[in-house]
A and B are shown apart, each in its own frame.
Chain A
Amino acid sequence: NAGVTQTPKFQVLKTGQSMTLQCAQDMNHEYMSWYRQDPGMGLRLIHYSVGAGITDQGEVPNGYNVSRSTTEDFPLRLLSAAPSQTSVYFCASSYSVSPYNEQFFGPGTRLTVL
């Protein structure tokens, strides 16, 4: 049981480039989400999904796209990278959409945009 996995672990992009951060979970969790962590700001929700085919925006969605074609995978796409997107990105999953459920986090992706 690998839990939540993310790739890559580190990435450097140039402004304007696009890329996809991969996230997968093997716990058959219904709910998946992407957060970004910036110094002094805690974790902020980018996008989330409550099941295959269902996604919605979080607090800071601009510049990012998501899709969820399977229960296991929830990739995050940066359409045209900007220096403001330099951050650490965490994928998380939980058993259901209930606010009671704790989140399981991946190891994170450290992204630098030059």
Chain B
Amino acid sequence: AQKVTQAQTEISVVEKEDVTLDCVYETRDTTYYLFWYKQPPSGELVFLIRRNSFDEQNEISGRYSWNFQKSTSSFNFTITASQVVDSAVYFCALSEAHATNFGNEKLTFGTGTRLTIIP
């Protein structure tokens, strides 16, 4: 069965520090997709990034970067020079291509990491 583990329940850093959020996943499928979502204090989840299992290229988007390593089943998220606006709960999620029925219903979320940026 698929599983996503976010071992860091809460992290606090001082503004401008770099911070890495860990995500470890388990799946038996060879084709799968990994996601990161952000849930700011307003409550609405916002999609940040998607990565498929065949693309291990790291990605950088401004201050955000993602490190996907199949060898360790990890998809970690780094925020460089953190800002107060980065304070949120971050969720990692996994969906399998060869799941039962349709596929999208097998999207599994981790328990989230609450990130607090201290001004």
| Chain A residues proximal to chain B, CB less than 8 Å | 31, 33, 40-45, 48, 50, 56, 58, 88, 90, 92, 94, 96-108
With contacts A42-B91, A43-B91, A102-B50 known, is A97 near B44, CB below 8 A?
Answer: no
A105 and chain B: residue at smallest CB distance: B45
With contacts A99-B99, A100-B33 known, is A45 near B50, CB below 8 A?
Answer: no
Any chain A CB within 8 A of the CB of B43? yes
Closest 10 CB pairs of A and B: A99-B95, A99-B103, A97-B102, A42-B109, A105-B45, A102-B47, A43-B109, A42-B111, A108-B43, A107-B44
* Least Cβ–Cβ distance between B106 and chain A, in angstroms: 7
The reply to whether A94 and B104 contact each other, CB–CB distance below 8 Å, is yes
With contacts A100-B33, A108-B43 known, is A50 near B102, CB below 8 A?
Answer: yes
| Chain B residues proximal to chain A, CB less than 8 Å | 4, 9, 32-33, 35, 37, 42-47, 50, 52, 91, 95-97, 99, 101-107, 109-112
| Complexed CA–CA distance, A41 and B109 (Å) | 9
With contacts A43-B91, A88-B43 known, is A97 near B104, CB below 8 A?
Answer: yes
Q: How many A-B residue pairs have CB under 8 A?
A: 72
| Complexed CA–CA distance, A41 and B9 (Å) | 11
* Least Cβ–Cβ distance between B4 and chain A, in angstroms: 8
The reply to whether B47 and A103 contact each other, CB–CB distance below 8 Å, is yes
Complex contacts, A100 vs chain B, CB 8 Å: 33, 50, 52, 95, 97
A90 and chain B: residue at smallest CB distance: B45
The reply to whether A106 and B44 contact each other, CB–CB distance below 8 Å, is yes
Complex contacts, B9 vs chain A, CB 8 Å: 40
Query: What are 30 A-B pairs with beta-carbon distances under 8 A?
Result: A31-B102, A33-B104, A33-B105, A40-B111, A42-B91, A42-B110, A42-B111, A42-B112, A45-B107, A48-B104, A50-B104, A56-B101, A56-B105, A90-B45, A97-B104, A98-B104, A99-B32, A99-B33, A99-B95, A99-B99, A99-B104, A99-B107, A100-B33, A103-B104, A103-B107, A105-B44, A105-B46, A107-B42, A107-B44, A108-B43
